[in-house]
Amino acid sequence: MFARYLRRELSGRRKQTAIIAIAMALAIGLVVIVNSLSAGVRDAQAAALESVYGVGTDITVSATPTPLAEGERPAGPRFEFDADAGTATSDGTTAVSQSVLGTGRGAATFDAAAVETVAKQEGVAAASGVLALTNSTFDGELPGRDASGATSGGTPPQGGGMGGGGQFDVNSFTVMGVDSKAGAIGPLASVTLQEGRLLTADDDGKNSLVVDSSYATTEELKLDDKVEIAGTKFTIVGIVAASGAEAETASNTYIPLDVAQKLSDSTDMVSTIYVQAASASEIPSVKEGLQAALPDNTVNTQEDLASTVSGSLSTASGLVSSLGTWLSIAVLAVAFLLAILLTLSGVARRTREFGTLKAIGWRNSSIVRQVAGESLVQSLLGGALGILIGLGGILVINLFAPTLSAAAASTGSPGGGGTSGFPEAAGNAAANAAEVVLNLPVTPMVIAFAVALSIAGGLLAGILGGWRAARLRPAEALRSVA
C-alpha cells in the first residue's frame, strides 16, 4: 500500500518533483565536479613535487642558510687564472677556459654524516643525501699584457681591470650528486628512463653521467657522449625525462655523490636529505624526531612542500579550496532549502488529505514515513541526475586535459636551470619548474558522497514536512471539507 500510494502522489505532483529533482541535481553535480577537481589538483600537486623530490619522499632535511648582511650579495663562482693560464693567440690576446663546480648562489650545505643520523631515527624506512651544484664555465679571450703592464690593446687599465679587447662567455648548468644506491627514493626515483641506464652502486667513484632529456636535446647530447664538469670528462650512460608532461627533472645532469663531493668545494657535504617514512601515520612523529636530532636544519614534510608550489597549479588549488568549496556549500544549501520549502508548501496544500488519513486511523509515524518517502525519492532522482551531470563535467574537463604550470620552491634542490648566466639553482630560492596535466579522477568515494548528500537532503525535507503533517488534527480536515 505504501509503495502504491507513494507512486500515485509523486505522479500527481510531477511539477514539484521535477523542481526538487533538478535543483538537487545541479547541486550534486557541482559537488561531484568540485570534489573530483580537488582530488585532481592534489594529484597534480603531488606529481609536481615528485618531479622535484622523487617518488616515496615523505620528508626532506636541508640546511638552513645564513641570512645575508644588508647590502651583501650571494657569492657566485670564482675563477682564478695565474700568469701562465691560457694560450696566446695571434692577435695578442690569451684564450682561457676554466670550469668551476660549486654550490649555487644562496645555497647552503651541511655535513653528510647527517644522512646516517637520519637513517637511524625511529620510523625512517630510507634516507638518501644529494648535493646540488652548478657547473660554471668561463670561456673566451683576455687581453694580453707586456712587461710594463700595458694591455695588447693600449694603455694599462685604470683600477686593475682586464682592460679592453677581452671577449668571454660564462655558461652554466646544474649538476646533482646522488647516492647511486638509493634507487627507491630521491630525485631519480620518479624519472622515466628514455635511453641507457640509471646510476648504480658500480658507478661510485666513476665519471658516469645521467642527463635530463630536455637538456640533452638543447645541447644535442646522446649516449656515450662526453661532457666536461669541473675540467673532468664524464660519459653519458643514461638519458631521463620527468614523468609529468613537458616537465624537466630536478637537475640538468646527475653524477655519483662521492664524485660530486670530490670535484666541488663541498667535500663530505650534502645539500638535501630525502627521507621515506615507514608509514604515512608516522610522518609527524618522524618529523619531530628529526627536528630534535638536527636542530640546525630545516625539516619539511610533503604537506609543507606543497605550500611552496606556485604558478597556475597554485592558483587552481586556491580556487578549489576557497571559491569552489564555498560555492558548492552555497548551492547545496539552496537546494536543500528549496526542497524543504516545497515539501512544507505541499503539506500545507494537503491539509484535508492528511487530516482524513488521521481520521481513518493513520498513525503520526505513518504520515511522517509517507512524506519522508516522497521527499527521499525526489532527492534520489535528483542525486542520480546530478551524478550524471558531474560525470559529464569531469569527462569534458579530462577531454580538454588542461596543463598547469608549477614551480616548487625547494631548499637545496636545483631547478631546471639554464645554460647561461648564474641560475640561482640549488638554493633556498630555487624554483623547480614543471608542467602537469590536470586529470580529474572518478572515485567510488565521490559517488558515495553524492548519494549520501541526496539522501540527507531528502530525509531532512521529508522529516520536517512529515512532522508538520503529523501535527494536523482530524477536525481540521472536517472544517476544510465543510
User: Could you read off the pLDDT of 218-239 as tens digits, one per residue?
Assistant: 999 999 999 999 889 999 999 9
Residue 464 lies in a domain: yes
Tell me: the pLDDT tens digits for 265-283?
788 999 999 898 888 788 8
pLDDT at position 74: 53
**pTM > 0.75:** no
In sequence order, the 6+-apart residues with CB closer than 8 A to the CB of 39 are 440, 441, 443, 446
Using CA of residue 215, residue 219, residue 221, residue 225, what is the dihedral sign? negative
pLDDT at 188: 84
Residue 20 lies in a domain: yes
427: confidence class by pLDDT, cuts 50, 70, 90: very low
Question: Does the structure show a pLDDT above 50 at 154?
Answer: no
| Mean pLDDT across the chain | 74
Amino acid making up residue 222: K
440 part of a folded domain: yes
Say yes or no to pLDDT of 59 above 50: yes
Higher pLDDT, 103 or 216: 216
Q: What is the dihedral of CA 141, 142, 143, 146, to 10 degrees?
A: -120
Residue 374, in any domain of the structure: yes
* Residue 105 confidence (pLDDT): 64
The more confidently predicted of residues 41 and 308 is: 41
The one-letter code for the residue type at 193 is: L
Higher-confidence residue: 208 or 351?
A: 208
pLDDT score of 212? 92
Neighbour-count burial for 37-76, b at 16+ CB within 10 Å, e otherwise:
bbbbbebbbbbbbbbbbbbbbbbbbbbebeeeeeeeebeb
Question: ∠376-377-382 over CA atoms, to 5°?
Answer: 95
pLDDT: which is higher, 348 or 392: 392
Residue 167 within any structural domain of the chain: no
Provide the pLDDT for residue 247: 58
**422 CB contacts (<8 Å, ≥6 apart)?**
76, 77, 104, 105, 134, 136, 170, 172
Q: Please report the pLDDT score of residue 167 as a whole number.
A: 61
Lowest mean pLDDT among 299-313, 417-431, 459-473: 417-431
Residue 216 has pLDDT above 90, yes or no: yes
Q: Is residue 424 part of a domain?
A: yes
For residue 322, being part of any structural domain is answered with yes
Q: What is the mean pLDDT of residues 305-325?
A: 53
Q: Is the alpha carbon torsion for 261, 264, 268, 272 positive or negative?
A: negative
Q: What one-letter code names the amino acid at 291?
A: Q
The reported pLDDT for the residue numbered 366 is: 81
Alpha carbon distance 319, 139 (integer Å) = 48
Q: Which residue has the higher pLDDT, 358 or 134?
A: 134
Strands 232-241 and 208-212, sheet pairing: parallel
Rounded mean pLDDT of 453-472?
81
> Residue 146 and residue 156: Cα distance in Å, rounded?
10
Give me the domain span that covers residue 38. Answer: 2-49+314-481
For 400, other C-beta atoms within 10 Å of its C-beta total 8
pLDDT for 475 beyond 80: no
Q: Does the residue 84 lie in any domain?
A: no
User: Of 319, 176, 320, 315, which Cα lies nearest the Cα of 249?
Assistant: 176
Higher per-residue confidence, 161 vs 407: 407
Q: What is the pLDDT of residue 421?
A: 31
Average pLDDT over residues 244-252: 68
Q: Worst-scoring range by mean pLDDT, 60-69, 84-93, 412-421, 443-452?
A: 412-421
Which of 405, 460, 346 minimizes the C-alpha distance to 44?
405
The predicted pLDDT at position 155 comes to 43
Lowest pLDDT segment from 51-55, 56-60, 111-115, 382-386: 51-55
Domain total for the chain? 1
